[in-house]
Amino acid sequence: MAQMASSLGSPRLLLRMGREAAQQQHLASGTEVQKVLRLAVGHSLDLQRTDGAWCGEVHSNATFTAQYVFLQQQIGLPLDPTEIEGLSRWLFSQQNEDGSWGLGPGLGGDVSTTTETYLALKILGVSPEDPRMAAARTSIIKAGSLPATRMFTRVFLASFGLIPWSAVPPLPAELILLPTLFPVNIYNLSSWARATCVPLLLIRHHEPLHSLPNGRHAENDFLDELWTKDIPRDFCYTTPLSRMWRLGDYAGIFFTSADHGFRFLGQYFNSPLRNLSRRKIINWILDHQEQSGEWAGYWPPQHNNIWALSLEGYSLDHPVLRRGIAAVKSFVLHDATGMRAQVTVSQVWDTALMSIALSDSAPSTGIISPTQAIDWLMHHEVASHRGDWRVLRPKLATGGFCFEEFNTLYPDVDDTAAVIMALIKSNPAHLISGCVRRAAQWILGMQNRDGGWGAFDWNNDKFFLNKIPFSDMDSLCDPSTPDVTGRIIECFGMMMAGRHGYSLDCQLENRLRASSQLAIAYLLGCQENNGSWWGRWGVNYLYGTSNVLCGLAYYYDRSSLSKGDGKSNSNIVSAVDRASEWLKARQHSNGGWGEGLESYDNAQLAGCGQPTASQSAWVTMALLNYLSPTDEVIQRGVSYLVRNQVKYGDESRATWPLERYTATGFPGHLYMEYDYYRHYFPIMALGRYVNKLSGSHKLL
């Protein structure tokens, strides 16, 4: 669908549309749906760990695996032949036909991803004469070669002497000393940017020079084949000031001028102030390491913190680095497909969503609520009184849940809302538990001034920080987003609705209601002209719109319109109607829904793309709140999910095919696919469909 505008009317497209139309003639019966659910739930139980949790692979692009190779080179850890073969095999398996590597399946080449992967493969011993390397080299040169790479890629290149450190913007270590009242300080950065950039302050200070297979050289020729006479080796890291002035980019002028000043003062940076800054950075890094060895549960901080501490003289035998390296290895998978590094791990997220799926499908399958998983989730409630969020919210009581298992410092409201719903669905008595109350109060305290929620931080919307020359991914902030806000009002709505005789106390209910009204005002204000909502953490408008519709269902009352009951409800009904019509118009003739990653760069492709199981499930769940289960749109969506289930192993287990990426890390820069998205979201959708069809459906 992403290419439909250019191929509409072609014989190939017409043939495909004909096949889709033929496929959707058969609508699934209730018996078929229940059988599909039993097969899927059986597979879910097989996937469950012995401790009750679930954790699927997080698929992403080749850069993190390439950086795993860089890290071994930077800290002097040799790879054995089995690792070299596994890494090389997996990296080549991700290569596009034109020789490039992209940000995700179906996307074209990305020069930074291709450059990092090419360098990693050369370090692993692959000859540049290999035809696959020759194709990669052509792709890199065609895209502008090393000067066209992103800042993080340049840091790696400079650390091996492949480009000068002058091609990388300065990051003064003194940034760690700036107070929170100052506009530029580390706590105005998003959690992921902060955890990544703090160790980079040390790395940038040291300007390390590491060895490559051909030795250690300040002007290493290891990648000389990527240079041509048309590509200047002496290149700058930012737009010239004169061009910024013509464009009116005054924030960019300020930060670039400041960078030039820091570079000029660099000769004085062995001062007592610099040494104080380094000690403070080291202490910050040590204070933010988990007992498991992880930092923030995310690859870049893992890599950068180990690298930075090694530059400060920490030996590989030091307990901090031993734990850190062990944590890095826990991110690495090695199987028949090869060896690769994950960008993150998703134990809490997967366990919460799989638990919701099993609860939604329980009336159809007879499988009891996932009590062991619920106990595991409750055990992972954040009890630490530390955490970066507390710097700006010092009086807010501890609560909430993190995305990963070994993460106590970075809870996020999205995971917290998902866990609350998992607990309530599994056992209504959890509604009045201390765990749910603490989590809800923490979410309330993290609501932004605009009524919405970001993921990890409070009022983290200093967008001028994206003008810092080091920021070329526009991801230094964590502002309110519709998809996160939609999930939270769904959670609050579920709590306020009560269940099986359990209800909230009046004080908490009133707080949730007031908070929800502010959130709804935010959502109504950011609805797109076509009726959709943008998705920050899932692809893309299908995700955002579905999350919001699932949330608004608790506040939607069409019957009150005839009574003239309130302008607020009228606005909600209007917004829901527009969004529902947009979703219905995006349904494929085969009953499914899909959207490609391209929509982040071209909004005209919103809701367009090859159908996937997870995206079809999102939309089906959203529309089930407003349409009859016998509505043709719902019937076709359900039939798509039934028809596309595939057997897994023997005949008693089934799942859905591995699909295009449907999860987002940084729009336009990092995309992912959580392996279990294709499994638990269809279970949720089909379970809710059967429940509503049988008359036992409630919003929760």
| Contact predicate 300/316, CB 8 Å | no
Domain check: are 136 and 190 in the same one?
yes
- Is residue 14 over pLDDT 60? no
β-bridge partners, 664: 671
- Is residue 542 over pLDDT 50? yes
pLDDT the model gives residue 569:
84
Average pLDDT on 602-613 reads 97
Give the model confidence (pLDDT) of 18-72 as tens digits.
Answer: 444 444 457 888 789 999 999 999 999 999 999 999 999 999 999 999 999 999 9
Domain check: are 32 and 147 in the same one?
no
**Final residue of a structural domain among 299, 322, 341:** 341
Average pLDDT of every residue of the chain: 91
pLDDT the model gives residue 143:
97
Domain check: are 28 and 82 in the same one?
no
- Is residue 652 over pLDDT 90? no
Write down the pTM of the prediction.
0.92
Contacts of 274 (CB under 8 A, 6+ apart): 173, 174, 205
- Is residue 281 over pLDDT 90? yes
414 part of the active site: yes
Domain check: are 368 and 421 in the same one?
yes
- Coil vs helix vs strand at 676: coil
| Contact predicate 438/381, CB 8 Å | yes
Confidence label for 10 from pLDDT (cuts 50, 70 and 90): very low
- Is residue 258 over pLDDT 60? yes
- Is residue 167 over pLDDT 50? yes
pLDDT the model gives residue 567:
64
Domain check: are 565 and 528 in the same one?
yes
Domain check: are 30 and 70 in the same one?
no
**Final residue of a structural domain among 341, 373, 393:** 341
Domain check: are 559 and 684 in the same one?
yes
Confidence label for 541 from pLDDT (cuts 50, 70 and 90): very high
474 belongs to a structural domain: no
Residue 487: which of 401, 547, 576 has the closest Cα? 547
- Is residue 481 over pLDDT 60? yes
| CATH number of the domain bearing residue 250 | 1.50.10.20
Domain check: are 257 and 190 in the same one?
yes
- Is residue 230 over pLDDT 90? no
β-bridge partners, 335: 338
Q: Give Cα separations from 219 to 204, 216, 439, 451, 635 (angstroms).
A: 18, 9, 53, 52, 64
Q: Which of 241-245, 384-388, 508-512, 602-606 has the lowest mean pLDDT?
A: 241-245
- Is residue 315 over pLDDT 90? yes
Domain check: are 296 and 385 in the same one?
no
Confidence label for 539 from pLDDT (cuts 50, 70 and 90): very high
331 belongs to a structural domain: yes
pLDDT the model gives residue 238:
62
700 belongs to a structural domain: no
**Hey, which of 241-250, 366-375, 482-491 has the most confident mean pLDDT?**
482-491
Domain check: are 117 and 52 in the same one?
no
**Final residue of a structural domain among 341, 372, 397:** 341
- Is residue 369 over pLDDT 80? no
552 belongs to a structural domain: yes
- Is residue 244 over pLDDT 70? no
283 belongs to a structural domain: yes
Average pLDDT on 5-26 reads 41
| Contact predicate 388/460, CB 8 Å | no
Average pLDDT on 147-176 reads 94
| Contact predicate 180/392, CB 8 Å | yes
Scanning 265-412, the segments in alpha helix (DSSP H) are 272-287, 299-311, 319-330, 347-365, 371-379, 389-392
- Is residue 641 over pLDDT 90? yes
The angle, 0 to 180 degrees and rounded to 10, between the axes of the packed helices 434-445 and 506-525 is 40
β-bridge partners, 334: 339
Catalytic residue among 110, 360, 388, 414: 414
- Is residue 12 over pLDDT 50? no
Instruction: Round to whole Å and give the CA distance between 311 and 305.
Output: 10
Q: Which of 203-212, 229-238, 615-624 has the lowest mean pLDDT?
A: 229-238
pLDDT the model gives residue 29:
82
558 belongs to a structural domain: yes
468 belongs to a structural domain: no
Residue 433's Cβ-count burial label (10 Å; 0-12, 13-18, 19+) is middle
Confidence label for 8 from pLDDT (cuts 50, 70 and 90): very low
Buried b (16+ CB within 10 A) or exposed e, 177-202: eeeeeeeebbbbbbbbbbbbbbbbbb
467 belongs to a structural domain: no
Domain check: are 387 and 317 in the same one?
no
Average pLDDT on 4-26 reads 40
Number of domains in the chain: 2
Domain check: are 510 and 623 in the same one?
yes
Residue-number span of the structural domain to which 640 is assigned: 4-57+344-462+480-693
